[in-house]
Amino acid sequence: QQQVKQSPQSLIVQKGGISIINCAYENTAFDYFPWYQQFPGKGPALLIAIRPDVSEKKEGRFTISFNKSAKQFSLHIMDSQPGDSATYFCAARGTNAGKSTFGDGTTLTVKP
């Protein structure tokens, strides 16, 4: 049973546009929601993360929106650049640095 559903599977955006990736979770025990960026041949790198007591978090061009009642969260990349082309994974984790549940990933392509 997949506990974190991510969409879309792939996304093509023009340079300067807004990229939006969505995730939905089921387990209400999750209390930490990170987004990872992964380039080919590299390990995932933490991009931004949020906890359920906050509805929005912004770091530079990256924003997480969190809807606790709907059990959904999304990543917005403003002014998307070709260098943002990568695979993005959302994840959800409970307390005590335990198991993370990952979404299936979104391959983002930003066209020049």
Partner 1 sequence: DTEVTQTPKHLVMGMTNKKSLKCEQHMGHRAMYWYKQKAKKPPELMFVYSYEKLSINESVPSRFSPECPNSSLLNLHLHALQPEDSALYLCASTDMGTDTQYFGPGTRLTVL
Among 63, 75, 93, 108, binds partner 1 (CB under 8 A): 93
Strand partners, 69: none
Does position 66 bind partner 1 by CB under 8 A?
Answer: no
Stretch that binds partner 1, among 15-23, 58-66, 71-79, 98-106 (CB under 8 A): 98-106
Q: How far is the CB of 44 from partner 1 (least distance, A)?
A: 5
User: How far is Cα of residue 68 from the mean position of the Cα atoms in its chain?
Assistant: 15
**Number of continuous H segments (helices) and E segments (strands) in the chain:** 0, 11
Amino acid present at 34 = P
Stretch that binds partner 1, among 15-23, 37-45, 63-71, 72-80 (CB under 8 A): 37-45
CA distances from 24 to 2, 43, 83 (A): 10, 23, 26
Among 1, 28, 42, 70, binds partner 1 (CB under 8 A): 42
* Count of residues engaged in binding partner 1, rule: CB under 8 A: 23
